[in-house]
Amino acid sequence: MNFDNSQPIYVQIIDEFKKSIIRAELSKGDKIPSQREYAQTVRVNPNTVQRAYREMENMNMVETLRGQGTFVAAGEEMRDKMAEEMADKCIQHFVREMRSLGFEDRRILAMLEVQLTNREEDE
């Protein structure tokens, strides 16, 4: 996993789990790696992973069962909500950046249409 210096690593870990849930790579009831295993895999401090897991528990994304491990608790409704929230965040960032470059909304929409049309042709 490549980390971005613009936001805390624990937030990026949470976002990776969210993406895995949204893409249905992880489903409700699936066991996720232990904090120690995950820390070794992504090569970060175990305390950082612990914070991410704790936050995910607070968000009801996962639940830890003593002696058994940590499991995905997010069902379909939560997955849909996470997808909407992450998409909205991406769009807001994109629009902010495009406006900071001086593009007007009409031009942004036109550019998006071209990109989406080109992508459809590539597929």
What is the average per-residue pLDDT within 86-91?
A: 96
Q: What is the pTM of this model?
A: 0.84
Instruction: Give the chain's domains with CATH numbers.
Output: 9-74 (1.10.10.10), 77-122 (no CATH)
Of the pLDDT bands very low, low, confident and very high (cuts 50, 70, 90), residue 120 is: low
Integer Cα distance of 84 and 80 in angstroms? 6
- CA angle 34/12/66 to nearest 5° reads 25
pLDDT at 119: 75
Supply the mean pLDDT for the chain: 94
Query: Rounded to whole angstroms, what are the CA distances from 11 to 18, 25, 40, 78, 100?
Result: 10, 19, 17, 18, 25
